[in-house]
Amino acid sequence: MLVDDEEVDDPFRAVPRVPPLSASRSRYVFNGYSDRALRLMLVDLWLLRIVQNAKKFFVLLGERERERVYVYGGSLDRALCEGILQPACRVGRKLHANAEGDSDDLVNPPKVEDKIGAVPNGLSTDSEVAKREAESISKKSLRSNAEKFEFQAEVSRLMDIIINSLYSNKDIFLRELISNASDALDKIRFLSLTDKEILGEGDDAKLQIQIKLDKANKILSIRDRGIGMRKEDLIKNLGTIAKSGTSAFIEKMQAVETLILLASLVLDSTRSIFLLTMLKSLAKITMINSMYVWESKADGAFAVSEDTWNEPLGRGTEIRLHLREEAGEYLEESKLKELVKRYSEFINFPINLWASKEVDVDVPADEDESSDEEETTESSEEEKEDEEKEEDEEGEKKPKTKKVKETTYEWELLNDVKAIWLRNPKEVTDEEYTKFYHSLAKDFGDEKPLAWSHFNAEGDVEFKAVIFVPPKAPHDLYESYYNANKSNLKLYVRRVFISDEFDELLPKYLNFLKGLVDSDTLPLNVSREMLQQHSSLKTIKKKLIRKALDMIRKIAEEDPEESNDKKDVEESSEEDEKKGQYTKFWNEFGKSIKLGIIEDAANRNRLAKLLRFESTRSGGKLTSLDQYISRMKSGQKDIFYITGTSKEQLEKSPFLERLTKKNYEVIFFTDPVDEYLMQYLMDYEDRKFQNVSKEGLKLGKDSKDKELKESFKDLTKWWKTTLASENVDDVKISNRLADTPCVVVTSKFGWSANMERIMQSQTLSDANKQGYMKGKRVLEINPRHPIIKELRERVVKDAEDSSVKQTAQLIYQTALMESGFALNDPKDFAARIYDSVKSSLSISPDAAVEEEDYSEEVETESEKKDETSSSKPEAVEDTEEPTDFKDEL
C-alpha cells in the first residue's frame, strides 16, 4: 500500500475518476482517487481493521498533503472513526490544516451523492453489526481487567505420565543419560580453552564417560568428568520439570558470541579480552570442593544433602539408578553394549564399560592331581619325561602348574568409531569411509561400498549427511517394499542416534542406500523418538534425493564401460577398479530405479538417464537411452521396445522381423515391473516410446500399401466376420511382418499380451474386473506370405467353404499363441491340429478310434479274485506255524 514518491509521482490520481466504490456494510469516499487505490485501502481498513495500518494511512495522506478525507456511513463508520481511527484522523486534519495555510487554492469538499453506485442502503449500517462491535470492544476491556491464574499440576501424576507414557521405548533412557554426560563434558572442554587449569590433573583431566554395574545391589552407575553441578543447580535444574541447564548455557554463549561480534566490528583486538572475562565468570561454578547428593523416587519430592560418606568424585557427576525387578536386563553387559553401540556410538567422548573378562591363569598344581593326570595318558608321561630331562640339563627345576579360568574386570571402550561426517570431506580417506561404512551398516565383509557422498547442507536447513551405495542388495529388499517402515538412513541429533523407522527423509525407492543425517535443528517430539511434520523435512528430502541421484550418476560416468568414446586409452589401476561398477549396481538395484520412475514424477527425467537395458544392437551389454538415441536412424521419431519374459524369447518374436531387416534398434524389457514402468515413462528427450507389439507402429510409407489393402480387402472383411466369436476388433495388412503369416496386436492404450499374463498370475486377481483393461485384438496379416495368398484365392472361389473357415480359425489361434496370448480353449485348438494332421496323412476325417474290449478285463478280474481266495488258507497256515513254535518255546 505504501508507495515511494520517487517511483510514482501521484499514484492515486493516475487513473481517471470512476463511479464511487461500494462496500458491503460501509462506504469510504475519497475525492479524486482511483478505484484501484481505494480497493487497496479498503482491504486494510475494512477487512483487516488493524489500527496501525489505519494510522499509517491517515498519516501518509497528511504528509503528502492529500485532499480531505471524509468518512460517510452509519453507526459502524462513526464507531470506527471515533473509537479506532480518531487519533489518526486528528493527525491527518492537523497536517492538512498546515498544508491549507501554505496553499492559496482551496479544494472544495466533496458532496454526498444520493445513490452511490446504485446500491440500496449503501451508506447505512446494520444495527446488529454495531451492537456486536460494541460488545467485542467491551469484552476486550473486560479481559484486560480480568484476574489471571496459573495452571496447577499434580507432580506425582505428571511424573507417572512422563515415565510410563511419554517414551514408547524404555531403552532410550541410557541414550539420554549419555547425551547429558556428553553435554557436561562439552561445557568443561569449552571453558578449558581459556583456563587449562580447570581440567585438573590425573584422572580428572580425562574427559570420558564411565558405566559400571552392581548386580548384587541392582545399581547402574553412569559417571562423567564434566562441569558438574552446585547445590543450587541441583535444585533448579533437577527439581524443575522441563528445565534444561544445557539450553541456558547455550543461551549465555550465544549472548557472548553476539557481543563478541559487535565488539569485533569496533576493534578486533578487544574480542579475546572480552571473551576471557566472560568465560572466567562462567568458570567460577566449577571451583567448588563440596559434593552433594540429589535423591528422588519420582513420587513428587526429592532430597538434596551434602555427601560426606562416599569417596570424593573430584569433578563431574555420577548417576546411580536403582533398577526394578522387571528392569533386570539392564544389568547385563551385553545389553548395555548393544544400547551404546546403537544410540551413542558416535559420541565425541570415550564411553567405557567396567566389563568382565575370562583369562587363563597359571596356578600351582597339587601332587595328587598331577599323579592322576600322569596315569591317564601315556603321551602326557612322555612329554613330562622330556621336560624333566631338559630341566636336568639346565640344572633348574620348575614347579608344576595348571591353567585355570579366572574372571577379571577392566574398562572396555565401546565407541571406537569416529564421526567422520563432522570432518571436511577432503580430509577423509577412502579407507576411513570403508571402515565407517562397515561399522554403520554392520557389514563385516571385505567388499567396499560402490559409492558414497559426504556433504554439508547450508541454507534454510543445515545438516550433515553421509550416504553409501552397498555392494550387494539385501535378499528381502523388495519382499515387503510397501509395508516396511524401517529405513537404512539413520537420524542423528548432535551425534546421538534418534531413529531409523521413518520415511520422511528418503523415498521408498532409495531405501537401499545406507547412511545417516545429523542435524541440530530437526523438529523432534518431546521424547526425541520421532520426527514431527515440518516444512524443513521437505527441504532435507529434496536435497538428499538430489545428492543420491548425483552419486549414482557419477558411478556411471566413472565406469569406462559406460563411456561412448571408442578411442584406445591407457587403462590405469583406478579405471580397472571402476570398470563394470555400474553394471554391478544395475544388477543389484536396477528395479529400485524403475520404481522411482513410477513413484517420483519430479525426478522422472533424471531417473530415466540411469535406466539400463539390452537391445537388438547392444551386443549382450547394457545400454542407456542416451546411447540408444545416438544410434537412431535418420527419420526415426519413436523409441521402439518390446516386453516379454526373456531376451531369448523376444529375439525370436515375429514382431521384430521387419524392424530387424530395416536395421532398427529395439529395446528388450524382460522384468515384470517394466510393464508398469512404461505406463509412466511416456517419452524421453521429446521422443515417444512405441511398443512394437501394439498398434501405431510406423516404419515409413510404402507406395504399394494402397494396392495391397485394396487387393486383400475381401479377405480381411471375410476373416473379420469369421472371427466374430473371438472378439477380434479388426483384420489389417501388417507392416511389421517378413516371414510370419500373421500376428495378433493390441490397441495402443490397452494391455499387451505380457501384461495380461502378469495380471492373470496375480494371487488376488479378478478376471471379471480385468476385462475393461484388456486391449482390443487386431489380426495383422502378411500379404507376401504364400499361406495368406492361397487363403485369399480360396475365399474368392468359395467363401462359405467350411474347410477354409477351419483353416482361418487355426491360423488365428496359432498367431494368438505365437504373439504371447493365452488360448481361451486349448482343447479346440488341439482338435484343429489333429484334424490338420489327419488331412496331411490322408486319413479320413470320419475315421473313428477303435473301442477297447472290456470282456477281457472282466475275466482277468474274476481270475484275480479266485487267486486271492485260494491264497488265503495258505496264509493262515503260514501264520499258524510261528504261533506253534512260540508255544513250544
Q: Which residues sit in the known binding site for ATP?
A: 176, 180, 224, 229, 237, 243-245, 317, 528
CA dihedral 459, 461, 466, 470 (to 10 degrees): -120
Residue 408: how many other CB atoms lie within 10 Å: 10
Tell which residue, 445, 529, 442, 536, has the closest CA to residue 491: 529
**How far, in Å, CA of 697 to CA of 657, rounded?**
13
**How far, in Å, CA of 463 to CA of 607, rounded?**
25
**How far, in Å, CA of 596 to CA of 334, rounded?**
40
SS3 (DSSP) at 473: coil
**How far, in Å, CA of 185 to CA of 324, rounded?**
29
Q: Are strands 463-469 and 514-518 parallel, antiparallel or unpaired?
A: antiparallel
Instruction: Report the Cα–Cα distance between both ends of the chain, in Å, rounded.
Output: 125
**In this structure, what are the phi and psi dihedrals at residue 609, rounded to the nearest 5 degrees?**
-70, -20
Tell which residue, 317, 312, 319, 318, has the closest CA to residue 290: 312
**How far, in Å, CA of 628 to CA of 610, rounded?**
13
SS3 (DSSP) at 677: helix
**How far, in Å, CA of 202 to CA of 191, rounded?**
18
What are the CB-based long-range contacts (under 8 Å, 24+) for 498-505? 498/524, 498/528, 498/529, 499/529, 499/530, 499/531, 502/530, 502/531, 504/531, 504/533, 504/537, 504/541, 505/531, 505/537, 505/540, 505/541, 505/544
Tell which residue, 335, 292, 328, 295, has the closest CA to residue 310: 292
- Yes or no: say if 185 and 224 are a contact pair by the CB < 8 Å rule: yes
Three-state SS across 111-179? CCCCCHHHCCCCCCCCHHHHHHHHHHHHHHHHHHHCCCCCCCCCHHHHHHHHHHHHCCCCCHHHHHHHH
Residue 206: how many other CB atoms lie within 10 Å: 13
Tell which residue, 108, 89, 103, has the closest CA to residue 32: 108
Helix pair 826-840, 802-818: axis angle to 10 deg: 120
Tell which residue, 655, 743, 669, has the closest CA to residue 699: 655
The neighbouring-strand residues paired with 353 are 211, 412
- Yes or no: say if 812 and 742 are a contact pair by the CB < 8 Å rule: yes
Q: Cell 535444574: give the residue.
A: 237
- Yes or no: say if 676 and 682 are a contact pair by the CB < 8 Å rule: no
Max Cα–Cα distance, the chain, nearest Å: 157
Q: How far is CA 717 from its chain centroid?
A: 55
**How far, in Å, CA of 821 to CA of 817, rounded?**
5
Sheet (strand 463-469) strand order: 451-457, 463-469, 514-518, 489-493, 496-499
**How far, in Å, CA of 834 to CA of 837, rounded?**
5
Q: What are the binding residues? A: 176, 180, 224, 229, 237, 243-245, 317, 528
The neighbouring-strand residues paired with 401 are 364
For 342-443, list the strands marked E by DSSP: 351-364, 401-413
- DSSP conformational letter for 83: I
